[in-house]
Structure 1
Amino acid sequence: MPNKTKPLHELVSQNQYLRVSPNDLIRNVACQMPEHHTSAAVVLDEKEKLIGIVTEQDIVEKAVGARRNVDETTVDKIMTSDPVTISIDAPFTEALLLMTENSFRTLPVMDGDHVAGIVDIRDLYDALSKLLKEEINLRDGLISYAWGDGYGAVYSKAS
């Protein structure tokens, strides 16, 4: 059966991502995350090069949990430097595998040297769910065709 998994560019194109500077204050970044409907931000240098990622979990554990003053502490103090990334042309299943193996919830997606976006584990689970539904419908159609209307009709009504 051909590989029908979507490349990440089909998921990332709809994804607006938050870009921050290493000198941004943690409180400001934390306030921007809900506005951008995201749980992570890519950290870019002055040349727009990816130098890190900061997540809600980083803010909770490395700032709030460590009792840092979020009004004075900058992103570079808590970000993950040189984060693992994935190519925009990779299939989403590769991103899902990478994220589950490494316990990531977000992953920067790269188009060459430039950040194309961030993919969230929820985006990947949604894409996987759609793929599985398509596979089930295809198999149900094949069963219906092979067995005739009587047996296959049970399956076609379940979709």
Structure 2
Amino acid sequence: MRSFDYAPLYRTTVGFDRLFDMLDSSVRSDWPPYNIEKTGDNDYRITMAVAGFSPEEVELTQHGPELIVIGQKQPEQGDRQILHRGMATRNFKQVFRLADYVKVADATLENGLLSVDLVREIPEELKPRRIGIGTSTGKQPSPNKQISQDTQPQRKVA
């Protein structure tokens, strides 16, 4: 794998250190396989193939902007003698970096698939809002004038 030298970008940007750190540490393990999908405007789902793991053997933790998934297989009990092991049941740790205001909404383990539903909950004070514009008739603006909340950005007409 080729590595990229970010030094020229460091000289011309301010405040992007976290982004460059994420790019540098973006090497992921290939097991267990997973999908990341967008299921709505602010909804996402991570689906991981963890066949052979029970819900007690999988730990899900959100620590700040990181979602950490750890699978630790319990030692097998009994007198079984395995002649061929084709199913991977090794321990794993997978870390996903989440965007700001993304939180885990639900997690399920069914038919060997771990599904983690994520939702982006932007606080009301950070959502776009429409501000009414008054006229300049020399009057002071009315203190009773309401500022309307507008969650949909305005489209410009060409």
Judge same fold: TM > 0.5, yes or no: no
| Structure with larger Rg | 2
Structure with the higher helix share, 1 or 2: 1
Structure with the higher strand share, 1 or 2: 2
RCO higher in structure (CA 8 A, sep ≥6): 1
